Amino acid sequence: MASTGVPLEARAQARADMARARSRTSFDIVPVRHWLHGDAEAWENHAQLVRIVSHEAVVNLPGRPFMSREERYANGQAIINRFNELRIQNQWSDEQLERALLVTGQILPSSLHATAFQPVILRQGSDEQIRLWGPAISARAIIGCYAQTELGHGTDVAALETTATFDPKTDEFVLHSPTLTSTKWWIGGLGRTATHAVVQAQLHLQGKALGPHLFFVQLRSLEDHSTLPGRTIGDIGPKALGAHQAVDHGFLRFDSVRIPRFNMLSKFAKVTREGQYVQPPHAKLVYGGMLYIRAQMNHHAVWLLGKAITISIRYCTIRRQGKVGADGLAPQVISYPSTYYRLLPILANAYVFNAIAHHLHAEYEAMSALLARGDASLLPEVHIALAAMKVLVSTDALAGLDIARRAMGGHGFSEFAGGGRLLADHTPAVTYEGDNYVLDKQVVRAAVKGHQMGVQLPAESLSVFAFLGQLAAPMSAPVSARDLAQTLRYRAANVVKNFAQLKDSTQDPGAEARVSRAVGDAYVAGIAANALEQGLPGGEPVHRLFLLHLLTTVESALADLPNVDSRALRAHIGAACADILPDAIGLTDAFGFTDWELDSALGVYDGAVYDALWERASKSGFNAASPHEKEYKAHIMAILERGRKEVARL
């Protein structure tokens, strides 16, 4: 990828390298961009929102790294306030407002209003409840949060301690926090912002515990925002890695707080005036809100990964390092096999996970439509598919974000690079909405049950259980997408069979994570192979990305596939990377990120990385201080004088 002729000055060379790399794009990125965003209309809507949002001074992306937590929170509230004005001015729908807030690239104080509080009420509330509360929720006349996690209980929702006891005398529920560990904790937007909450609490009826149910609860006055009686509310403090600074994650305790019986979300389960319990059609329906959030998490991970890999590939394209060649130039970092072998599979994952996210969204919507008619037949499978993909996508996205950051070397550690910020924001995704290692257990239980029942589905099935019964030995050198997918299905069927025969899990304590991974890999492989057979926009470059994902997934599973020729497999991976590399910039351009969206000095579109880094550092407020300011007089001067005196005594 080296240029010819007289070497240019480094800054000009960077621009030339980027232009040359972009000119090598061999496919039309427009249909690929439309596919990544859903369709042409979705892309145009996104681009229009970016044009509007990027001109709003309140968003202030360049100033964000220099703000304190208090300033970040205040700025977050200012953004939400301004965007609600824009909602009215532009007649945005709820979805458009949520997307506009996401475009800012920030997790804001009331983000969970749109991503959890509102969707849960719309999906779990009765028609009457939605008619009563829906307009105020949509207009932001109230601001909500989703209060599930407790100080002593997270993923194990069944173990939550907060109680909601029905009092038939007053036709009310009494919410109570009986222990310290029952305190609601980690609730986004609760610390200072939310006026209301959807609260997950154990329903107690006639002395009997009936499991967790959802309740609509007011927390603060709508007159002066003061905390209502019986509620103890506060902020839990700053988060690790400086992440989510604008969000007031909070705690909440109830001291015998009474709410009307009507406030129990009752689309599926309810309590009558006589105190009789009406059961839902399926026990897992109470977790419907969590399933919605997990479905959305896949989309969020894809776009974070897309940003990170765009930044990293662009920077590694213009960065030159190593022995200078005959042309007077050092090699581009992206040209090193050790670099592109790390980065191109991440790019492949972003594309494949995008297909997974769209597929699961369609599955979730189909399940929701059936549930609305009282049919819960799709719920068990969608529940397991979402659990498996929550584990796999969040885990691989987190790993990919860090690999992309590290590939940029020392500059990747700069806040101005943007990669560290993406990594910090995604880090908690592997533990919230179900800790990944706990979700592994759910996936494994379902897989083993299917194995023991002798479930066997058609080869063309895209079910999360399609691997069951696929025990035919794989080819030693699988190359086609279908053969690679079949190899991964064989691996899943085999490890599930072996796990089912395991007498004592303590003999293999890592087995559950491996089995869950095998099930997830097989599910993704089936969808990826089907997408290739159905045809994808972009032709060969996009097809090669999907194939690279399958090849590297098989490579990661070689311990379970002793019959596969590892040398031949890795040769295919090398060839796939070499074929993809000329289109790497085009494939990242297809995400459609503007420089404003990326907010990265290393990921600028034109390759002018060094100019961008210099400009940001030069404008840093930290450089405005005079060396004679108070820090010098109070400390630095004293250190220097003490040192000089010590030297003088020698």
- The token duo for 498 is 């072996």
Which residues 6+ apart lie within 8 Å of 292 measured at CB?
116, 119, 120, 123, 364
Which residues 6+ apart lie within 8 Å of 126 measured at CB?
265, 266, 267, 270
Which residues 6+ apart lie within 8 Å of 245 measured at CB?
67, 69, 72, 73, 238, 239
The Cα 473–Cα 451 span in angstroms is 17
Residue 596 contacts residue 590 (beta carbons within 8 Å):
no
Comparing CA positions, the residue from 460, 439, 451 lying closest to residue 495 is: 451
Burial degree of 406 (CB within 10 A; 0-12, 13-18, 19+): middle
DSSP reduced 3-state for 126: coil
Residue 117 contacts residue 137 (beta carbons within 8 Å):
yes
Q: Which of 150, 161, 433, 597 is catalytic?
A: 433
DSSP single-letter state for residue 109: T
Angle at 326 between CA 324 and CA 328, to 5 degrees: 55
Q: Is 420 annotated as a binding residue?
A: no
Burial degree of 9 (CB within 10 A; 0-12, 13-18, 19+): exposed
Helices (H), ranges, 215-336: 288-318
- The token duo for 285 is 């329906």
161 is catalytic: no
Q: Is 149 annotated as a binding residue?
A: yes
Residue 295 contacts residue 385 (beta carbons within 8 Å):
no
- According to DSSP, the residues that pair with 208 across neighbouring strands are 205
The Cα 552–Cα 333 span in angstroms is 22
The Cα 436–Cα 534 span in angstroms is 32
Going by their DSSP bridges, the two strands 196-205 and 144-147 should be labelled as parallel
Residue 532 contacts residue 543 (beta carbons within 8 Å):
yes
Known catalytic residues? Answer: 433
Residues annotated within the binding site for FAD are: 149, 188
Residues annotated within the binding site are: 149, 188
